[in-house]
Amino acid sequence: MIRNPKFLSFAVLLTLAVATFVAGYEIEKVNEQTRRDIQTNDSQRAANEISIRLSAQVRESIFILSGLKALIEGNPNLKQSEFEHYAGSVRRLGPGIRSIAAAPDMVVTYVHPIKGNEASIGLDYRKAPVEQRAAAFRTLRVGQPIVAGPVRLVQGGVAFIVRLPVYVKDAGGGSKDWGILAAPIDVNVFFQQSGLFEFADEFELAIRGHDGLGEQGRVFYGDASLFTERAQPVRETIELGSGNWVLAVTPKGGWVTQAPDQMIIRIAMVLTFLVLSITWLTIFGYLKERNAARVRSQQILKEKSEFLEILSHEIRSPLQGVLGAQRYILDNGFKESMRPIVETAHESGNYILSLINDYLDLQRAESGNLSVNLTPVNIRQVIDDAFRIVTTGKKDSSLSVKFSIAQEVPARLMLDQRKVNQVLVNIIDNALKYTARGYANISATYHTMDDTPVLIIHVEDTGVGINEEDLETLFDRFTRSSTGENRSGSGLGLAISKSLVEAMGGTITVRSEVAKGTDFSISLPAFVPTETELAKFDPLDKEEVKVSAPDSSDQLSGLRVLIADDVVVNRLLLNAMLSTLVKDVILAEDGQQVLNILEEEHVDVIIMDAMMPNVSGIAATMKIRQQAQFDQIPIIGLTGEESMKSQAELLRAGMDVVLLKPIDLAPILSAIKEQTVQREKIASHPNR
């Protein structure tokens, strides 16, 4: 028998109230934290995206100016007219570039445009104000492009100042300071092109790092209070090459401080409390009535039946309301959304990668480091490969492509296959790009001129053609003809093709007529290989290796491969390529780590970059070959140097194979298999 029913009822109701309040509070906190996590993820993703865009915008500006820098390094005594010609081309590529100045011996001598910038000519950085002088000489001291500012210009407006150090060769074959190349980049144009203004419509942001000083630099964009602990911003570092900016981002209107559906949650909790209270009071009333009618069993059974009917009706209605409120919370308070950006990234990368590859080839050509590697080449196969590269992934068209290889063209010719292939890819790609209907014809003939056998390749099309006035600058860097200005591309393809052809001792010419078509003629000295040369480049041992080394992943599955490269992207890339094919992949950042790992672990194959800090790949290889227990480990070298001299140096150091970057899986697998088979043959025939 219940001794104090009122106290019990009050205690139960108080317990229900406390439990409901605690449950509601926890739900609010969970909902608030969920919303905060969504805000954080959205802010982090957006900050990362805009930091990538800003960094890419800086790199693009530096890349555009680097072409002019390379021109000056190749022609340090250029005239003002020549400077203006190329500087004008560079400014057209970068609409935010206000002007460009070059200062040999730290005295501004070249300026484009001259109008409005006359006062800059003759500026001696050695006598300039302290801040300007320090920024200019910092560029030479660091040896890398520097992004300074933003600063207010005398001509009006605010701009970032991009400065690039310029070096030229001295009499001893080394390099010396020539001076600097500087260009103000309009801040508003820079931010507009990077999408910063649209970003600011959705998020609060600020940028710290005046003069590229990162956390030590002052805030030059947005509200400085965003960098305080109270603001709790999402931070991203914007790399500038030499130096950085720091981006602070918070949601528009600040972080959520309470559950977005707080009122609904509280109403739901009140409803829950009411339902539980009604339930308890109903049960309590039932128990009280039952206790009072204990002696009347029939009445108890009747009252029980009535109670169950009431309970079924009275609880179901409010409970359905509670469930509906909870469903609303689940559908609205916990929903997350994400916006995909994968496709846009892929496309820019490819675009930059193509820009970087083109620029590197152009730099090698201009610096005289573009070596020629002659091997016996099947020109018919090279032309076919170039055509397949150009047309891979493109939609079918009605354009007719014809091939015509004269019978007198020998089966094999001594040529640099890679360079010939790249030239043909550029020229054939142009022919197909600018030809909507008609045909493109690729033909090859072989002649002897002045006792020198010459291979002549024509790429003829019936496309849009080229204006006569554009032919003179057709092979200039960053230049397109007026008939092709709306086409995509960096404007480097023909300049690179000309450099490659000239490096091989040949010539490239063009004939064209607007609306009728264009004919590129490539003339290359090409001797027929001797029997000795054929034997040198096609030894029988390689054929034996190919026969005994079938293309099977089983051959690699038991190998432990050590990868050494100081660039983290390369290590991650090689790891991703090989980790599913071999037993283990071990990563190292320099040659010293390679030596340490070899002392502690068993390794079957080493893939090592030639140039690394601390201990280089060359030095590490020489030390490895001095130790008998490691002498049989194949070492595959990676280098970005294309010259035969550089590759010969790596082979002399003890590397078994030298592969050129950029890294590709196929040659790496081929090298691993070939070296593994050779080691197995040596092990099985030690006296051979």
By the 8 A CB rule, do 167 and 192 touch?
no
The whole-angstrom separation of Cα 205 and Cα 557 is 50
Span of 365-379, 420-434, 461-475 with lowest mean pLDDT:
365-379
Which pLDDT does position 562 carry in this prediction? Answer: 95
Residues 6+ apart with CB under 8 A from 552: none
Residues, the chain, total?
A: 688
pLDDT band at 286 (very low <50, low <70, confident <90, very high): confident
Same domain for 41 and 84? yes
In this prediction the pTM is: 0.40
Which pLDDT does position 312 carry in this prediction? Answer: 39
Residue 483 DSSP one-character state: G
Same domain for 508 and 378? yes
Write the single-letter amino acid at 258.
Answer: Q
Residues 6+ apart with CB under 8 A from 479: 89, 473, 491, 495
Q: Between these two residues, 316 and 7, which has the higher pLDDT value? A: 7
Q: Between these two residues, 383 and 284, which has the higher pLDDT value? A: 383
What's the mean pLDDT when you consider all of the chain?
78
Which pLDDT does position 348 carry in this prediction? Answer: 39
CATH number at residue 14: 3.30.450.350
Over residues 489-517, mean pLDDT? 85
Number of domains in the chain: 3
Which pLDDT does position 149 carry in this prediction? Answer: 82
Q: Between these two residues, 387 and 354, which has the higher pLDDT value? A: 387
Which pLDDT does position 542 carry in this prediction? Answer: 42
Same domain for 582 and 519? no
By the 8 A CB rule, do 537 and 376 touch?
yes
Range of the domain at 104: 1-260
pLDDT band at 519 (very low <50, low <70, confident <90, very high): very high
Q: Between these two residues, 361 and 92, which has the higher pLDDT value? A: 92
110-119 contact pairs (CB < 8 A, 24+):
110/78, 110/80, 110/83, 112/83, 112/84, 112/87, 112/88, 113/84, 114/84, 116/155, 117/155, 119/154
Q: Kindly give the interhelix angle for 379-391 and 417-433, rounded to the nearest 10 degrees.
A: 40
CA distances to 269, 272, 450 from 333, in Å: 15, 18, 84
- Of all residues in the chain, the percent with pLDDT exceeding 90 is 19
pLDDT band at 520 (very low <50, low <70, confident <90, very high): very high
Say whether pLDDT at 315 is over 70: no
Span of 9-13, 116-120, 144-148, 559-563 with lowest mean pLDDT:
9-13
181-194: buried (b, 16+ CB within 10 Å) or exposed (e) per residue?
bbbbbbbebbbebb
Which pLDDT does position 349 carry in this prediction? Answer: 40
Structure tokens at 457: 């390749």
Same domain for 377 and 504? yes
pLDDT band at 557 (very low <50, low <70, confident <90, very high): confident
Q: Between these two residues, 354 and 685, which has the higher pLDDT value? A: 685
Structure tokens at 566: 């100081």
Task: Write the pLDDT tens digit of every residue in 343-377.
Answer: 333 333 443 444 445 555 666 666 666 778 888 99
The whole-angstrom separation of Cα 513 and Cα 519 is 9
- Residue 416, domain member (yes or no): yes
By the 8 A CB rule, do 591 and 609 touch?
no
- Residue 377, domain member (yes or no): yes
- Angle among Cα 478, 483, 487 to the nearest 5 degrees reads 60
Nearest C-alpha neighbor of 673 from the set 651, 656, 653: 656
- Residue 582, domain member (yes or no): yes
Say whether pLDDT at 604 is over 50: yes
pLDDT band at 461 (very low <50, low <70, confident <90, very high): very high
Q: Which of 260, 275, 295 is the C-terminal boundary of a domain?
A: 260
From its phi and psi, is residue 62 left (phi > 0), alpha (psi between -120 and 50) or beta? alpha
Q: Between these two residues, 148 and 340, which has the higher pLDDT value? A: 148
CA distances to 8, 149, 150, 371 from 119, in Å: 93, 20, 20, 44
Look up tokens 């820019």; give the residue. Answer: 348
Over residues 72-85, mean pLDDT? 87
Beta bridge partners of 403: 442
Which pLDDT does position 245 carry in this prediction? Answer: 92
- Of all residues in the chain, the percent with pLDDT exceeding 70 is 76
Same domain for 511 and 599? no
Same domain for 48 and 189? yes
Q: Between these two residues, 348 and 236, which has the higher pLDDT value? A: 236
H or E, element range at 259: none
Say whether pLDDT at 57 is over 90: no
Which pLDDT does position 335 carry in this prediction? Answer: 40
Same domain for 387 and 526? yes
Which pLDDT does position 410 carry in this prediction? Answer: 93
Span of 118-122, 385-389, 537-541 with lowest mean pLDDT:
537-541
Over residues 649-663, mean pLDDT? 84
pLDDT band at 554 (very low <50, low <70, confident <90, very high): low
Over residues 298-326, mean pLDDT? 41
Which pLDDT does position 359 carry in this prediction? Answer: 56
* HSE-up (13 A, CA, CB side) for residue 352: 16
By the 8 A CB rule, do 500 and 370 touch?
yes
Over residues 283-289, mean pLDDT? 72
Task: Write the pLDDT tens digit of every residue in 442-460.
Answer: 999 999 877 889 999 999 9
Same domain for 527 and 543? no
Q: Which of 218, 240, 260 is the C-terminal boundary of a domain?
A: 260
Q: Kindly give the interhelix angle for 297-333 and 5-74, rounded to the nearest 10 degrees.
A: 10
- Residue 608, domain member (yes or no): yes
Q: Which of 512, 531, 550 is the C-terminal boundary of a domain?
A: 531
- Residue 292, domain member (yes or no): no
DSSP-based three-state secondary structure for 336: coil
- Residue 152, domain member (yes or no): yes
CATH number at residue 622: 3.40.50.2300
Say whether pLDDT at 308 is over 80: no
Which pLDDT does position 572 carry in this prediction? Answer: 78
Say whether pLDDT at 674 is over 60: yes
H or E, element range at 55: helix 5-74
Over residues 436-442, mean pLDDT? 88
Same domain for 481 and 604? no
206-244: buried (b, 16+ CB within 10 Å) or exposed (e) per residue?
bbbbbbbebeebebbbbeeebbeeebebbebebbbbebb
Say whether pLDDT at 2 is over 60: no
- Residue 405, domain member (yes or no): yes
Task: Write the pLDDT tens digit of every residue in 160-181.
Answer: 989 899 998 887 778 888 889 9
Cis peptide before 113 (omega within 30 of 0): yes
The whole-angstrom separation of Cα 626 and Cα 531 is 37
DSSP-based three-state secondary structure for 378: coil
Same domain for 463 and 564? no
Over residues 469-481, mean pLDDT? 74
CATH number at residue 452: 3.30.565.10
Same domain for 609 and 508? no
The whole-angstrom separation of Cα 275 and Cα 270 is 9
- Residue 312, domain member (yes or no): no
Over residues 3-23, mean pLDDT? 72
Same domain for 677 and 571? yes
Task: Write the pLDDT tens digit of every residue in 206-217.
Answer: 999 888 888 998
Q: Between these two residues, 269 and 147, which has the higher pLDDT value? A: 147
53-56 contact pairs (CB < 8 A, 24+):
53/194, 53/195, 53/196, 54/194, 54/196, 54/238, 54/245, 54/247, 55/238, 55/239, 55/240, 56/194, 56/348, 56/352
Strands (E), 462-604: 507-513, 517-525, 560-564, 584-588
